[in-house]
Amino acid sequence: MKLKIALLAAAGSLAMVSAASAQDQGYYGELGFGYTFAEDENDFEDTGSAVPASFVTNYDLDESLNIYGSFGKYLNNGLRAELELSTRTQEIDELKGDGLGFVGFPSGGNIGDLTVHTLMVNVFKDFTNESRFTPYIGAGVGLGYIRPEANNSSIVSAPASSPNQPYLIVMGDKDYATAVQALAGFTFDLTDTVDVDLGYRYLVTDSFEYGAAINGPVTPIEAGYRAQEVTAGLRWNFGAPAPVVIEEEPPVTYKNCWDGSRVVSTATCPPEPEIVEDQVIPDDLDLVVYFDFDKSNLSVAAQDLIAAKSAEALEYNPTSVTVQGNTDTSGSASYNNALSARRAAVVREALVANGISGGLITTQALGESNPAKPTADGVREPLNRRTEVMFDF
């Protein structure tokens, strides 16, 4: 069995997540014990020279107690690192047969013991918070010292199906193997310097090799080890806890606003009202256009006057324009009404041509009813032959 250490090491990288608030500082030491669960999936095989046949099987381990001690240091952002030494010894309960000439050792007695010491470098992520409980996760890598011991040839009687099959196992060798582990748990603050640590670990070693006589001559054996454990320990923190920094609130200051009110310096004053100056509109924007007798066409002078007044009026944004056509008293009233309408229309067209919106313009045909200079009926009066334009703003 070749262990892919990188997979478990990558799982340990889950510890590199966001930090919390204040945490312990300095160094710490921890002592504890735990419970190692029974395990029946440990690989056990010869390396190809077993007599009478090669075998690939598993061995079962009983549960046991474990002991550990560690020395570590608190780092930044909730991280800490430690050096841990642990040990456990488990009874080998069964060595399964593989059906190929190797009958194994069935359960029912103590075949031997397997002792595993580990020296690990662990890295943890503490999820500190405002409570006394601090969850954590971690990962470790290191070295395992494995020593199997067995000297037993009378565990069980030979089965009736194989009366000549010996039952002999002798092991007393040792080996070293790379080990990795994943850890999780939480601590509870008993005091400022003492914590209770309740945790879980999953430990796996790489393959280790040793010699053993198993129902035959001594042969090289390759095996693996894995264990699940729950632990409980006491941790002593040698560094003082991080001081709680209480920020003093700065003194409150005020400022005066434009309207005479006072507000906190960090606040915003009410916006100052925008001062809008009254628009001064010239009094001479209205205009009068004069016409020849019985005419409704615009002279050049009249066209220039309309253009100039229109440009000036546009600077003040007119809201409405009134155009009134007028005549003198020469001619009939009905004729004069039609003539005044034509005079109003031609001025309106000139205003639109010079930028005044047609929607603002109202035209009125007043005929001879609104003379600038009153006369008797039938009088040709130039002052009355006109169109008046009034701008409203």
Amino acid at 12: G
Task: Please give the Cα distance from 222 to 160 (Å, whole number).
Answer: 30
Residue 281 has pLDDT above 50, yes or no: yes
pLDDT at position 262, please?
85
The Cα-based distances of 60 to 36, 328, 386 in angstroms read 13, 131, 124
Query: CA 282 to CA 303: how far, in whole Å?
Result: 21
Residue 155 has pLDDT above 50, yes or no: no
Say if residues 130 and 21 touch (Cβ distance below 8 Å): yes
Residues in a beta bridge with 220: 211
Does residue 188 contact residue 209 with C-beta atoms inside 8 Å? Answer: no
CATH of the domain at 25: 2.40.160.20
Q: What share of the chain is helix, strand, coil (3-state, %, to 5)?
A: 15, 45, 45
Assign residue 337 the CATH number of its domain: 3.30.1330.60
Answer with the one of 171, 202, 237 that is the final residue of a domain: 237
Which region holds residue 358: left if phi is over 0, alpha if psi is between -120 and 50, else beta? alpha
Give me the sheet containing 287-290, strands edge to edge. 287-290, 386-392, 320-325, 361-365
> Averaged over 249-256, what is the pLDDT?
85
12-21, 61-70, 244-253: least confident range: 12-21
Decide if 25 is inside a domain.
Answer: yes
Measured N-to-C along each axis, helices 333-353 and 300-314 cross at an angle, to the nearest 10 degrees, of: 60
Which domain does 46 fall in, by range?
Answer: 5-237
* Residues 197 and 332 grouped into a single domain: no
Identify the residue with better confidence: 251 or 182. Answer: 182
71 shares its domain with 217: yes
Specify the number of domains making up the chain.
2
Other CB atoms within 10 A of residue 267 CB? 10
Residue 242 above 70 pLDDT?
no
Residues 179 and 55 reside in one and the same domain: yes
* pLDDT of 232 higher than 60: yes
Q: Is the dihedral of CA 192, 198, 204, 205 positive or negative?
A: positive
Q: Do 220 and 341 share a domain, yes or no?
A: no
Question: Is pLDDT above 90 for 142?
Answer: yes
| Residue 230 in this model has a pLDDT that exceeds 90 | yes
| Residues 305, 203 share a domain | no
Residues 308 and 193 in one domain: no
**Is the confidence at residue 67, as pLDDT, over 60?**
yes
pLDDT at 264: 85
Same domain, 230 and 327: no
The verdict on 194 and 301 lying in the same domain is: no
Given a cut of 70, is residue 107 above it in pLDDT? Answer: no
Residue 83 and residue 222 in one domain: yes
Assigned domain for 195 exists: yes
Rounded to two decimals, the pTM is: 0.53
> How does residue 52 score in pLDDT terms, banded at 50, 70 and 90?
low
Give the number of other CB atoms < 10 A from CB of residue 169: 21
Nearest alpha-carbon partner for 389 in 294, 324, 297: 324
